[in-house]
Amino acid sequence: MSQHLPSSLPPAPAPAAVLETALYAADLDAAEAFYGRLLGLERITRAGNRHVFYRVGPGVLLIFSPDETETASGTTTMPVPPHGARGPGHMCFAMDRDGIAALRARLLAAGLDIDAEFDWPNGAHSLYVRDPAGNSVEFAEPRLWRAD
Protein backbone atom coordinates (compact mmCIF):
# COMPACT_ATOMS: atom_id res chain seq x y z
CA MET A 1 0.00 0.00 0.00
CA SER A 2 1.20 3.42 -0.86
CA GLN A 3 2.12 5.73 2.01
CA HIS A 4 -0.10 8.38 0.40
CA LEU A 5 -3.82 7.66 0.33
CA PRO A 6 -6.05 9.17 -2.31
CA SER A 7 -7.90 12.28 -1.16
CA SER A 8 -11.27 10.68 -1.97
CA LEU A 9 -12.13 7.20 -0.72
CA PRO A 10 -15.45 5.33 -0.69
CA PRO A 11 -17.22 5.35 2.69
CA ALA A 12 -16.88 2.31 4.96
CA PRO A 13 -17.67 1.67 8.63
CA ALA A 14 -14.82 1.64 11.13
CA PRO A 15 -14.04 -1.74 12.74
CA ALA A 16 -16.24 -2.43 15.77
CA ALA A 17 -13.77 -4.29 18.00
CA VAL A 18 -10.47 -6.14 18.14
CA LEU A 19 -11.25 -9.78 17.38
CA GLU A 20 -7.77 -11.17 17.90
CA THR A 21 -4.33 -10.03 18.85
CA ALA A 22 -1.02 -11.79 18.31
CA LEU A 23 2.18 -12.19 20.26
CA TYR A 24 5.24 -14.11 19.15
CA ALA A 25 7.15 -16.67 21.19
CA ALA A 26 9.78 -19.15 20.03
CA ASP A 27 9.05 -21.55 22.93
CA LEU A 28 5.36 -22.45 22.75
CA ASP A 29 5.66 -24.87 25.70
CA ALA A 30 6.78 -21.99 27.92
CA ALA A 31 4.00 -19.81 26.47
CA GLU A 32 1.45 -22.52 27.32
CA ALA A 33 2.75 -22.75 30.88
CA PHE A 34 2.37 -18.98 31.28
CA TYR A 35 -0.92 -18.29 29.47
CA GLY A 36 -2.64 -21.60 30.08
CA ARG A 37 -1.49 -22.84 33.48
CA LEU A 38 -0.49 -19.60 35.23
CA LEU A 39 -3.09 -17.20 33.81
CA GLY A 40 -5.76 -19.87 33.35
CA LEU A 41 -6.75 -18.97 29.79
CA GLU A 42 -8.83 -21.48 27.86
CA ARG A 43 -6.76 -23.03 25.08
CA ILE A 44 -8.59 -23.22 21.75
CA THR A 45 -5.98 -25.12 19.78
CA ARG A 46 -2.30 -25.79 19.31
CA ALA A 47 -0.65 -26.67 16.01
CA GLY A 48 2.72 -28.25 16.79
CA ASN A 49 5.42 -25.61 17.07
CA ARG A 50 3.55 -23.12 14.87
CA HIS A 51 0.98 -21.60 17.20
CA VAL A 52 -1.23 -21.86 20.27
CA PHE A 53 -4.50 -19.92 20.55
CA TYR A 54 -6.43 -18.88 23.69
CA ARG A 55 -9.93 -17.54 24.30
CA VAL A 56 -10.02 -14.25 26.20
CA GLY A 57 -13.61 -13.14 26.73
CA PRO A 58 -15.09 -12.47 23.29
CA GLY A 59 -11.62 -12.20 21.71
CA VAL A 60 -8.71 -14.49 21.00
CA LEU A 61 -5.01 -14.33 21.86
CA LEU A 62 -2.85 -15.86 19.14
CA ILE A 63 0.68 -16.87 20.07
CA PHE A 64 2.83 -17.71 17.05
CA SER A 65 6.34 -19.00 16.64
CA PRO A 66 8.05 -16.28 14.58
CA ASP A 67 10.15 -18.84 12.68
CA GLU A 68 7.07 -20.78 11.61
CA THR A 69 4.88 -17.87 10.55
CA GLU A 70 7.50 -16.11 8.44
CA THR A 71 6.76 -18.68 5.75
CA ALA A 72 3.48 -19.15 3.89
CA SER A 73 0.95 -21.53 5.41
CA GLY A 74 1.34 -23.93 2.49
CA THR A 75 -2.39 -24.57 2.24
CA THR A 76 -4.77 -23.31 -0.41
CA THR A 77 -7.84 -23.70 1.82
CA MET A 78 -6.51 -21.16 4.36
CA PRO A 79 -3.88 -19.06 2.56
CA VAL A 80 -2.78 -16.97 5.54
CA PRO A 81 0.04 -14.72 4.35
CA PRO A 82 3.42 -14.84 6.07
CA HIS A 83 3.68 -12.56 9.11
CA GLY A 84 5.64 -12.20 12.27
CA ALA A 85 7.54 -10.02 14.63
CA ARG A 86 10.76 -10.29 16.54
CA GLY A 87 11.46 -8.75 19.89
CA PRO A 88 9.08 -8.06 22.74
CA GLY A 89 5.50 -7.10 21.99
CA HIS A 90 2.80 -5.83 24.31
CA MET A 91 -0.77 -6.70 25.17
CA CYS A 92 -3.13 -5.76 27.96
CA PHE A 93 -5.77 -7.90 29.68
CA ALA A 94 -8.81 -6.22 31.24
CA MET A 95 -9.30 -7.02 34.94
CA ASP A 96 -10.89 -5.30 37.89
CA ARG A 97 -8.68 -4.02 40.74
CA ASP A 98 -9.44 -6.99 43.02
CA GLY A 99 -8.62 -9.42 40.22
CA ILE A 100 -5.33 -7.66 39.58
CA ALA A 101 -4.45 -7.89 43.28
CA ALA A 102 -5.24 -11.62 43.38
CA LEU A 103 -3.29 -12.22 40.18
CA ARG A 104 -0.34 -10.22 41.56
CA ALA A 105 -0.14 -12.62 44.52
CA ARG A 106 -0.31 -15.62 42.14
CA LEU A 107 2.40 -14.21 39.87
CA LEU A 108 4.71 -13.50 42.81
CA ALA A 109 4.06 -16.99 44.25
CA ALA A 110 5.09 -18.40 40.85
CA GLY A 111 8.38 -16.48 41.07
CA LEU A 112 7.64 -13.80 38.46
CA ASP A 113 8.97 -10.30 38.84
CA ILE A 114 6.58 -7.38 38.57
CA ASP A 115 7.92 -4.90 35.97
CA ALA A 116 5.67 -2.04 37.08
CA GLU A 117 2.48 -1.38 38.99
CA PHE A 118 0.80 2.01 39.31
CA ASP A 119 -2.37 4.07 38.97
CA TRP A 120 -2.86 6.16 35.82
CA PRO A 121 -3.95 9.83 36.05
CA ASN A 122 -7.60 8.75 35.56
CA GLY A 123 -7.29 6.36 38.54
CA ALA A 124 -7.13 3.09 36.56
CA HIS A 125 -4.69 0.53 37.96
CA SER A 126 -2.12 -1.37 35.84
CA LEU A 127 0.31 -4.19 36.58
CA TYR A 128 3.02 -5.27 34.11
CA VAL A 129 4.99 -8.53 33.89
CA ARG A 130 7.02 -10.29 31.18
CA ASP A 131 5.97 -13.59 29.63
CA PRO A 132 8.67 -16.22 28.97
CA ALA A 133 9.31 -14.73 25.50
CA GLY A 134 9.90 -11.25 26.97
CA ASN A 135 6.57 -9.80 25.84
CA SER A 136 5.21 -7.06 28.08
CA VAL A 137 1.91 -8.30 29.52
CA GLU A 138 -0.29 -5.75 31.26
CA PHE A 139 -3.36 -6.27 33.43
CA ALA A 140 -5.43 -3.10 33.73
CA GLU A 141 -8.81 -1.85 34.78
CA PRO A 142 -10.96 -1.31 31.67
CA ARG A 143 -11.63 2.31 32.64
CA LEU A 144 -8.05 3.03 31.55
CA TRP A 145 -9.36 3.74 28.03
CA ARG A 146 -12.80 5.11 28.82
CA ALA A 147 -13.46 8.60 27.58
CA ASP A 148 -15.54 9.62 30.62
Is residue 69 very low, low, confident or very high in pLDDT (cuts 50, 70, 90)?
Answer: confident
Residues listed for the chain: 148
> In a 3-state reduction of DSSP, which class is residue 61?
strand
Q: How many Å apart are CA 25 and CA 40, to the nearest integer?
A: 18
Strands 136-140 and 90-94: parallel
**Is 100:125 a contact under the CB 8 Å cutoff?**
yes
Structure confidence by residue, pLDDT tens digits, 94-145: 999 999 999 999 999 999 999 999 999 999 999 999 999 999 999 999 999 9
Domain annotation for the chain: domains and CATH numbers: 20-70+88-145 (3.10.180.10)
What pLDDT, in 10s, does the model give residues 7-54? Answer: 888 888 888 888 999 999 999 999 999 999 999 999 999 999 999 999
